Structure 1
Amino acid sequence: MVGIGDLHYLHSNNYEDRIDRSTLASMPYLSQLLFARSTPLPSLPSQLGHTLTGRSITREDPFYYLRDLTNPATSEYLQQERNFMSRLEGTLEEMRDELVAEFRARIPEPDESYPTRRGSYEYFSRIEPDLDYPIHLRRKIGGTEVETVLDENAVAQNHDFLGISGIAIADDEHTIAYGVDFSGDERYLLRIGHLVDGVVTIDEEIPSTSYGFVFSNDARQLLYTRPDDTLRPAVVLAHSLGSDHSSDVVLMDEKDQRFYLDVGRTKDRNLLVISASSAITSEYWLLPSSGELGAPICFRPREQGLEYHLDHINGSFYLMAAHDGEEYRLFTVQDRLAPWEPFFELPNDDRLEGFEVTPLGIVLQLRSVDRTKLTYVAFEQVGEPAGVEISGDDAAVTSVLLGNAEPTATTIRIEETSLAMPATLIEIDLTTLERTILWQQRVLGGVDTTNYLTMRGYAPSDDGTLIPVTLVHRRDLTLPAPTLLYSYGAYGEPIDPGFSTMRLSLLDRGFVYAIAHVRGGGELGRQWHDLGRLEHKPQGFQDLRSAADWLVDNNISNPSLICLRGASAGGLMVAATLNLDPSRFRAAVLEVPFVDCLTTISDPDLPLTITEWEEWGNPIESDIIESLMASYSPYDNLKAERYPDLLVTTGLNDSRVSYWEPAKYVAKLRLLSPLTNVALKIENEAGHMGASKRTEVYQNEALVEAFLLAACTPSEPG
């Protein structure tokens, strides 16, 4: 057998000339053979001199011009990448189609959600066979007649992409609003109309809105957010229904570019709220929920490093708040001007993540060490040592607080799931704490979920810190085995274990699936986030590599067959880890990866850059941050070494990680490492969230799994 490093390439700009055909039959893995059969590879794009000058660092970027889609050289290069990807997909088509068929066979069609009560209706959604989008429905409580609230398939007609920013129905139960995005750039056309007998009539449209919008109680006004040029929700406006939107009243115009604005309503529906939030600071403003709105009243002026989140019920405010990276604590106050009083002191190992107020008490979303936990604290029990835990104690099971849409409800809904357990919807009666299973995700196709084993282990990182690793595989799998290791590690976002019917196809073909809960995420609270952001960002890369080592050391993973996967900031995590040791891994999938981070974070004119400085640091003002980012930026640190087989994805309309980041990354990798097998999948009609059509989601996931299977399958000679 001839190893990859023995392949012979000519120093030609024509990649087709670089392959010694005599070696094709002896390529050790199927993916290498398929890459070779997909030639000609894209020609290297032109290298144009472009100097990037920072505070103390000067960099040369030969592919900087790829950000210009009007440049014919850019269009030509991207088209060559599309053509190559199309040929590679052709070699994987049979396996992809087989996987798609498996995905669909496991999903009941039609597939219907469990109803949620709100007002005099219960609301649910249904996905019909051969349709790409859900149909949102409702029926009267106690009734049988179902009426359509919104059919996303009808909205998407004649469009290749559809994003819905949300659906709001006013308390009159007939006035409706929803936002539509037909490009993927997350700038929405807000439609307002009325719903009668299952038919929505659109009365008004407001262009260029963002995600947040909420009706006043009397359905006379709608508060909504508008993005600025960088797509930051920067303005809150009040629209009087039936009036020209050009006369809408500006309630708040946030000039500090670190802050996002959002709108909502308190649980008791007595107040409308405007929130202004950066990564580490927040502020709330209050408005009456009916009648004349007047000017917003600040609940507590922003204070750098103070984060708080509030709700209101039974005449009192309840808040979770934290200073300067400390863990959240729970407070209460009746008058916004009065001092906050501690409401409930958590046990030492518990960290507060969220809460839901009810007439009887508060349900807390917690983390206890590294597991999710739900605790109920009745108002009449405040002052007692502890609340009542209403979730299990298995670290591999995720317990999620879903809440309840009705302010007078004395029940609460939660969801429990794991990598091996389908999502289960549970309702808890807060008067008796009795649990009722309302619904469990159905899995068809003869799947027996007891055939899968999930567990959590702890990998010592380079500094001795134990990194949680959650994994799943078939009980009858012989270990060590090929492994897909997933990671994110940013923004304090936890990657909690959850069930996936599509992942079963990979498990059934002999894979282990694992999640590395690296620092930078929120799996162990706010400090876990702080230990992996700003100047500590590189720690996450060491954690991910250590997780891979632990899987090998414990005879779980085949050391030659470990694959990585990450998306967006997780794509940076994976790509930076690859740069530490390019030969360590068999394959990697980088989805919309943030790989040119130093260039992007240094450009305040790009969407969302300024708001990102509290996560990554500001290289414009700090030599330390600039030097640090230059040391780990995946694009800037690519090596002239063979990398694992790579599948990289991007969307032309991505407003969060611009298409040119993955495109430049692939171009530079082709230049420096012609031995590396890499493919760039470009979504022409999508943004950061990828394809919106259900069929395309299945196909894209099947392509990823087919790629990983080929990467870990020995090629047959001949």
Structure 2
Amino acid sequence: MFKSAALVLLSRSSHSFLIHHTPRRSLPLCFTHKMSTQTEVTQNDVISPPVARRDEEKVCFAGVGPADWDVKMPRQSNDSSEKLLDPPVAIPDPYGWLRDDTRENKEILDYLRAENEYSQSMTTHLKGLQDSLYDEFLSSIQETDYTTPRSREGFWYYTRTFKGESYSAYCRAPKTSDTFSINWDGTKESPIMPGEEVYLNVNELAKDKSYCSVGRVKPSPSQTYIAYAVDFSGDEKYEMHVRNLETGEDVALTEVGSDHLLEIDGLLWGKDDDTLYYMTMDEFHRPYRLYQRKDWKSDAPTDTLLKEELDDLFWCSSYKSLDGKYIFFDTASKETSEVWYLSTEEESSVTEMKCVTKRRNKVLYEVEHGDDSWYVWTNVDGSPNMKLMSSPATADSAANWELVVDTNGTPLFDGSLAKSLDSVTVLNTHVVIEGREGGIPRVWIYSKDSKNMKMLSFDEAAYDVGMLAHFEADTKSIAVSYDSLVTPPSSIEISLDDDSQRTVLKTKAVPGYDKGSYGCDRMEVLSRDGEAKIPISVVYSNETMEKVKAGERVPVHLYGYGSYGACMEADFDTTRLPLIKRGMIYVIAHIRGGGEMGRQWYEEPNGAKYLCKKNTFNDFVDVAKFLVDTWTTPEMLSCEGRSAGGLLIGASINQAPELFKCAILGVPFVDVAVTMTDSTIPLTSGEWVEWGNPNEEKYHQYMMEYSPMNNVQKGKTYPACWLTGGLNDPRVAYWEPAKMTATLRHANPNNENPICMKLDLSAGHFSASDRYKYFRELAYDYSFLLDQLKLAN
């Protein structure tokens, strides 16, 4: 679960502006509006922030279950040996009444709408800026465009977008040679390639829908059908369909039995068109079962349960080997994993999966197949990073795992600190490995024949690179996507035998962008504990940097995440350009808790997990202090994070509210202690091996010391806060930003900076699915930020 949420407050900066009056609505008893006395306005009757009632008696108990606790709901993991708090400890939860699992409570919905109305009233004067930002976002993309075609069983597959249409269209064209040629005149009507057919137009699926997100789209082995999944609410519960590409007939797969068979985006084809595999979720939104469906075309298909995972800590997924020979069921916590397999050659007669190797505590491994062998990347024997190993493709194979070596017998990846390994693609003649070295994403090509391995090199010092989707094992080349902070993305075809043979297949068009007007740097900031050099990636306009060199202080926007071992790359993003063009320096802090410097950047004892989690927040604040010491001032420094990055921002502004003028908390995971005590909340149990379990003595007090909701300071001036959320979000529930917003206002009612929350009542964790609506929402967010930093003109 990638937690996330948002936060908001009251009042304005010192300059005058006009708030357009929104008619007062009939308000429920749970909250009130009061007249604002903190904002200079030209009307007497203006919307003030809703004041949520506080239920001072409401608490959430951490520790052994309360007397009425459902014994089916775990308070800790099955194999935990840690002591539960006994007697339980009460955690204050005065805004707990805002939680409604049904999302239908009128009192609460009215309150959320009132929050939206308040936020809208606080930004009415920014309508012109919002329109300008929206226009800038659109002008920096090519609205009618296509993705790089990828080869698959006789076709080139790609997607297209069309000016004025919100969603993509999935297309394909017959493959007549190993290389493709683009004969496109740039118009909506012209095909990208000869023989083009649109086999799934998401714009048609999205008609009359406020939200539409298509998940996996899987062509069948014969390329006659596609199986696809679509979510119409943002709650990440998917409908599954199969479409006949010859007839255009679209069939919704029916649910069979009592299990929620068709609620997750996890579907695969078997050896041929007759068999489908798909995942299902339990009642807490956790993928846990893999099914095989035979006779899917009939009214009475046969569903067979192949594998299930009943341990709440484990999150499951399924995939098919690139050579098509195996279906895999992967079950993993953040620390332990296990992989099961079924041969597609035997799927018609055998439905019992075998295990690659049984799980062992704190041993992670992943598997691919090739040459009748397993290719395994694993941290077995406690290595800091993942090793690359191989063995015969048999069950219980761990005893035969051996390090993959080069021609000199030197292991390619031995798990040491020098470089980290993230994924492996096994082709017929080569193995392509993706990982990191020196904090930068890397791609290595290993020849099975010569046993030589070479890392792909590029001209820029810092960049983002990774393989594009690859569907065929029999190939002489691969394609990678390459970009940097100042270089728009390109897809590059690279020969497997000679990586100097490179062909740029496509470069993303960025109308009006002049690379020469921008610059970027990679720097390091020493952490307060002296244990880490925190990398930061910096992008700016040359004009702004000239001001800095002349000794002038300039506005800076600081972005971070720092959880789950996830990496924030030094990549290209057109939505940063409006900030940079207005004189801001944009900084990405690669703080501990991420994986930028390998797994040791994430794991205990030197990373930021469990009882080291505060390193994430300390690193971010240390970077902010460095920026104030060098380029900016607190009045010109803003910060932003989403999901677990929202936790980062909440904890950081609690620690050092005086450092920031404005903070954006997107779908922020801010009610850490309360959420993590309650396994009835979707996805909670699996997170105990990320944050720790506050029901246990070992973790409780530590978590209480950083949980943003529980550490808002009184009597402090907080930065202007802009929190966002989605009503249907299953990852970070809408009530987290709502509760944080109310908490910030209550603690500092006279805060000189506004606290606002914007909640999307028709979306989930990932904001708007409509690309135009997404740009509108982002323009809304950034207008608030620019206004607070006095850059709105």
Secondary structure of the residue aligned to 1:317 is strand
Partner of 2:758: 681
Match of 1:475 among 519, 542, 562: 542
From 40, 43, 46, the counterpart of 2:50 = 43
Of the structure 1 ranges 611-620 and 135-144, higher mean CA displacement relative to structure 2 is found in 135-144
The C-alpha deviation readout for 1:231-275, integer Å capped at 9, x for no partner, is 100111111122457741111121111112211111111111111
What's 1:29 paired with? none
SS at match of 1:351: strand
Say if 2:698 is the partner of 1:624: yes
SS in 1 for 2:151: strand
How far apart are residue 224 of structure 1 and its match?
0.3
Equivalent in 397, 402, 405 of residue 341 of structure 1: 402
Matching of residue 360 in structure 1 with residue 413 in structure 2: no
1:406 counterpart residue number = 472
Residue 289 (str. 1) matches residue 344 (str. 2): yes
What are the Cα deviations for residues 586-633 of structure 1, in whole angstroms up to 9, with x where unaligned? 10000000000111110011100011111001112x213111111111
Deviations 1:534-555 (A, max 9, x none): 11111111000111122233x3
Cα 1:322–1:668, aligned 2, differ >3 Å: closer, same or farther? same
Contact 2:147 / 2:160 at 8 angstroms: preserved in 1?
yes
For the 8 Å contact 1:651–1:685, the answer to whether it is kept is yes
Helix, strand or coil for the counterpart of 1:208? coil
Asked if the contact 1:38–1:84 (Cα under 8 Å) also holds between the matched residues in 2, the reply is no
Residue 61 (structure 1) aligns with: 93
- The equivalent position to 1:635 in structure 2, one of 695, 709, 720, is 709
- Given that 1:364 and 1:376 are in contact with CA atoms closer than 8 Å, whether structure 2 keeps it comes out as yes
Percent sequence identity is 29
Q: Which moved more, 1:131-140 or 1:701-710?
A: 701-710
Amino acid at match of 1:632: Y
Deviation at 1:299, TM superposition (A): 1.2
Bigger mean CA offset, 365-374 vs 625-634 = 365-374
Q: Do structure 1's residue 97 and structure 2's residue 131 form an aligned pair?
A: yes
Shift in alpha-carbon separation, 1:469–1:714, aligned structure 2, 3 A: closer
Q: Give 1:19's aligned amino acid.
A: T
Q: Give SS of 1:225's match.
A: strand
Counterparts of 1:317-332 in structure 2, within 5 Å, are: 317-323=374-380, 324=382, 326-332=384-390
Moved more, 285-294 or 299-308: 285-294
In structure 1, give the amino acid aligned to 2:250: T
In structure 2, the residue matched to 1:210 is: 264
Q: Is the deviation greater in 179-188 or in 52-61?
A: 52-61
Give the unaligned 5+ runs of structure 1: 8-12, 26-35
Structure 1 residues 182 and 497, CA gap change in structure 2 (3 angstroms): same
- Aligned to 2:468, the other structure's residue is in SS state strand
In structure 1, what is the equivalent of residue 304 of structure 2? 249
Identify which range, 77-86 or 462-471, moves more after superposition. Answer: 77-86
Determine the C-alpha separation between the residues in 2 that align with 1:3 and 1:589: 16
Q: Which of 99, 113, 130 is 1:79 aligned to?
A: 113
Shift of 1:583: 1.9
- The partner residue of 2:505 within 434, 438, 447 is 438
User: How far 1:205 moved relative to its partner?
Assistant: 4.0
The yes-or-no answer on 1:596 pairing with 2:671 is yes
Cα drift, residue 393 of structure 1: 6.7
**Structure 1 position 196, deviation (Å):** 1.3
Matches for 1:252-651 after TM superposition, within 5 Å: 252-290=307-345, 291-292=347-348, 293-323=350-380, 324=382, 326-336=384-394, 337-338=396-397, 339-344=400-405, 345-346=411-412, 349-382=418-451, 387-392=453-458, 394-402=460-468, 404-433=470-499, 434-444=501-511, 446-464=512-530, 465-477=532-544, 478-479=547-548, 480-530=553-603, 531-553=607-629, 555-620=630-695, 622-640=696-714, 641-651=716-726
User: Where does the alignment leave 5 or more consecutive residues of structure 2 unmatched?
Assistant: 1-10, 17-30, 63-84, 177-192, 256-260, 406-410
Aligned to 1:33: none
Per the TM alignment, residue 14 of structure 1 is displaced from its structure 2 partner at its CA by 6.9
Quick check: 69-78 or 495-504, which moved more?
69-78
Question: Which residue matches 2:20?
Answer: none
TM-score (norm 1): 0.92
Cα pair 1:45 1:73 within 8 Å, conserved: no
Asked if structure 2 preserves the Cα contact closer than 8 Å seen for 1:194 and 1:203, the reply is: no
Could you tell me how far apart the structure 1 residues matched to 2:325 and 2:104 are?
51
Aligned to 2:5: none
Mapped contact 1:512–1:557 kept (Cα < 8 A): no
Cα shift at 1:177? 0.8
Q: Matched residues in 1 for 2:113 and 2:280: separation? A: 34
Amino acid at match of 1:547: V
Shift of 1:682: 0.8
Tell me the CA shift for residue 515 of structure 1: 0.5
Given that 1:239 and 1:245 are in contact with CA atoms closer than 8 Å, whether structure 2 keeps it comes out as: no
TM-score (norm 2): 0.84
The separation in 1 between residues aligned to 2:12 and 2:317, in whole angstroms, is: 55
Q: Are the structure 2 counterparts of residues 462 and 245 from structure 1 closer, same or farther at C-alpha, using a change threshold of 3 Å?
A: farther
Asked which structure has the greater RCO (Cα within 8 Å, sep 6+), the reply is: 2
Structure 1 residues 14 and 484: CA distance shift in structure 2, 3 A = same
Match for residue 31 of structure 1? none
Task: Summarize the Cα distance change of 1:70–1:105 in structure 2 as closer, same or farther, 3 Å threshold.
Answer: closer
Query: Which amino acid in the other structure matches residue 551 of structure 1?
Result: L
Q: 1:139 aligned to 173, 183, 196, which one? A: 173
Structure 1, 467-476 or 135-144: larger mean CA deviation: 135-144
Aligned equivalents of 1:474 and 1:627: distance in 2? Answer: 45
Opposite residue 401 of structure 1, the aligned amino acid is: M
What secondary structure sits across from 2:265 in the alignment?
coil
Letter in 1 for 2:143: E
Deviation, structure 1 residue 180: 1.2
Q: CA deviation at 1:557?
A: 2.9
Question: 1:558, CA displacement in angstroms?
Answer: 3.5
Query: Is this contact kept in 2: 1:311–1:317, CA < 8 A?
Result: yes
What's the CA shift string for 1:199-240, capped at 9, x where partnerless?
343263446321221001211111100011111001111111
**Letter aligned with residue 436 of structure 1:** T
Query: Does residue 699 in structure 1 map to residue 776 in structure 2?
Result: yes
Closer, same or farther: CA 377–441 of 1 in aligned 2, 3 Å = same
**Closer, same or farther: CA 399–411 of 1 in aligned 2, 3 Å:** same
Larger mean Cα displacement after TM superposition, 338-347 or 627-636:
338-347
Does the 8 Å CA contact 2:32/2:52 hold for their aligned counterparts? no
Cα distance, 1:253–1:559 mapped onto 2, change above 3 Å: same
Q: Is the 8 A contact 1:402 1:414 kept in 2?
A: yes
Write the distance in 2 (CA, Å) between the matches of 1:401 and 1:358: 13
Deviations 1:417-470 (A, max 9, x none): 1111101111111122211111111111x2212211011100111111210000
CA shift, 1:373, in A, is 1.6
1:458 is paired with a residue whose SS is strand
SS in 2 for 1:248: strand
- 1:4 to partner: Cα distance: 6.9
Pick aligned residue for 2:220 from 170, 182, 202: 170
Number of residue pairs matched? 692
For 2:467 and 2:509, the matched residues in 1 are separated by 21
Q: Distance in 2 between matches of 1:161 and 1:270?
A: 36
| Alignment equivalent of 2:229, drawn from 158, 165, 179 | 179
Q: Is residue 292 of structure 2 the alignment partner of residue 238 of structure 1?
A: yes
Other structure's SS at 1:583 match = helix
SS in structure 1 at match of 2:245: strand
How many angstroms apart in 2 are the aligned matches of 1:140 and 1:310?
Answer: 32
Per-residue CA deviation, residues 641-696 of structure 1 (Å, 9 max, x unaligned), is 22101110011101010011110111111111122411110101101111111111
From 60, 63, 79, give the equivalent of 1:52: 60
Amino acid at match of 1:277: A
Matched to 1:326, the amino acid is P
| Secondary structure of residue in 2 paired with 1:150 | strand
Paired residues of 2:667 and 2:765 also in contact (CA < 8 A) = yes
- 2 CA distance for matches of 1:443 and 1:394? 19
Deviation (angstroms), 1:357: 1.4
Change (3 A) 1:208 1:5: same
Which whole-Å CA distance do the structure 1 matches of 2:791 and 2:446 have between them? 56
